[in-house]
Amino acid sequence: MPSFLFSPLNRPVNNWAGKRIWLIGASSGIGAALAKAYLDNGATVMLSARRAEQLEAIAAKHPNARILPFDVQDARAWVEAQNHIKHNLGGLDLILFCAAKYQPERSWEMERSDIANTLQINLNSVYEGVCAALPGMLKQNSGGIGIIASVAGYIGLPNASVYGPSKAALINLAELLYCDLHSRNINVYLINPGFVKTELTEKNNFLMPALQMPEQAAAAIIKGMEKGQFEIHFPRRFTTILKLIQMMPYRWRFFLIDRFVTQQG
């Protein structure tokens, strides 16, 4: 059997000790849980988000934590952050994008300013971060880029009018980054969580099947990276169903969405 059929798509991470990680969106939810887990495993972690006090609270318990609060919508702040990382960490082994904005809304409820704002945070900021981190990684001939998208990016779902398309774009971006960067020794991870109990999903007033805690999400992400997976999706009992729906003809897909999603929300 050819080895490319079975070998991991990324280089497995065997040891987090001493790894330099920049977490964007580390003040709450999955990002905060990831920060604690990486720090417990001995990594040096730069924590970014707007709420400095939340970042400080995490960093206070870990000598290897640093904080770098900024708003990901601020292009100048990205340039300053890039310089800060260079001077303080010397380089990066992993940049992980966790920042996002989500507003449950049907298409007739969308507002222009809110659309732009959500796309800026969910999508444009990832481009900013990739542009900030990639030159250094290419130069050192190693590194990793992790993008948290969502199963909401698999298929067009009512209520995710702006969030869903932003996540679909991130899935596409992660795929092309993998193709570009794999041969340059840079790991690229596409992370597609199902429902996780965080501030982001607090706004949902519908049933969230297979809901997980942020610590479970962080453990699944770290395990996926250790195994060298490209797509890290969880919980599988939920994500597998969505993957099957994604493969269905539109007629069946729309029927199921109408029956189980549209009529619920």
Ligand X SMILES: NC(=O)c1ccc[n+]([C@@H]2O[C@H](COP(=O)([O-])OP(=O)(O)OC[C@H]3O[C@@H](n4cnc5c(N)ncnc54)[C@H](OP(=O)(O)O)[C@@H]3O)[C@@H](O)[C@H]2O)c1
Tally of CA atoms within 13 A in the half-sphere of 101 that contains its CB: 20
Minimal distance in Å, beta carbon 141 to ligand X? 28
CB-based closest residue to ligand X: 29
Backbone torsions φ then ψ of 149, nearest 5 degrees:
-95, -125
Single-letter code of the amino acid located at 195? F
From the list 67, 59, 58, the residue with the least C-alpha distance to 24 is 67
Positions that interact with ligand X (CB under 6 A) = 25-31, 49-51, 54, 71-73, 98-101, 121, 148, 150, 193, 195-196, 198-201
Residue with Cβ nearer ligand X (193 or 235): 193
Minimal distance in Å, beta carbon 180 to ligand X? 22
Residue with Cβ nearer ligand X (7 or 80): 80
Residue 130: CB atoms within 10 Å: 18
Minimal distance in Å, beta carbon 191 to ligand X? 8
Quick check: 246 and 154 in contact, CB under 8 A?
Answer: yes
Residue with Cβ nearer ligand X (206 or 255): 206
Minimal distance in Å, beta carbon 196 to ligand X? 4
Residue with Cβ nearer ligand X (17 or 57): 57
In angstroms, the CA 85 to CA 101 distance is 25
